């Protein structure tokens, strides 16, 4: 990645982030821990919001801010019981999604950066003791 390129640009922009997010959300409706957390089965809306957030975070367009305001992830997830089991499941489904993307599309250095961010994000959102 050159100094002028963002991760977003380096891995192909919105199509790659859409693959990550759609791969994750394909698994969520049937998941016994994460599926029930979505109000009114709002999977499409949630998918858009995660796509906007990740694309923006990694240097893409500020779609999250434009559509939702500041991310404030802890505040936005406060009403959902996120314990270590939810944390672990979220990461498992996200890893499955990342693993489904070929290395040409998502080279290892970028995959590792994104995975590290996913781990930090999941840890930050835990709001319920065991």
pLDDT at 38: 82
- What is the pTM assigned to this prediction? 0.88
For residue 36, being part of any structural domain is answered with: yes
For residue 1, being part of any structural domain is answered with: no
pLDDT at 2: 45
For residue 104, being part of any structural domain is answered with: yes
For residue 4, being part of any structural domain is answered with: no
pLDDT at 73: 74
For residue 38, being part of any structural domain is answered with: yes
Higher pLDDT, 69 or 38: 38
pLDDT at 66: 84
Higher pLDDT, 64 or 113: 113
Instruction: Domain count for the chain, please give it.
Output: 1
Express each pLDDT in 5-24 by its tens digit.
899 999 999 999 999 999 99
Task: Find the domain containing 105 and state its range.
Answer: 9-124
Across the range 117-121, mean pLDDT stands at 95
CATH number of the domain residue 29 falls in: 1.10.490.10
Is residue 53 a contact partner of residue 64, using CB atoms and an 8 Å limit?
A: yes
């Amino acid at each position: 990645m050159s100094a002028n390129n963002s991760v977003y640009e380096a891995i192909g922009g919105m199509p790659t982030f859409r693959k990550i997010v759609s791969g994750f959300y394909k698994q969520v409706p049937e998941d016994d821990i994460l599926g029930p957390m979505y109000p009114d089965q709002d999977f499409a809306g949630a998918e858009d919001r995660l796509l906007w957030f990740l694309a923006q975070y990694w240097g893409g367009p500020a779609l999250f801010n434009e559509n939702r305001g500041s991310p404030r992830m802890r505040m936005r997830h406060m009403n959902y019981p996120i314990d270590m089991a939810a944390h672990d499941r979220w990461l498992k489904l996200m890893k499955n999604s990342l693993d489904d993307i070929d290395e040409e599309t998502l080279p290892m250095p970028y995959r590792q950066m994104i995975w590290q961010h996913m781990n930090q994000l999941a840890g930050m959102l835990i709001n319920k003791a065991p």
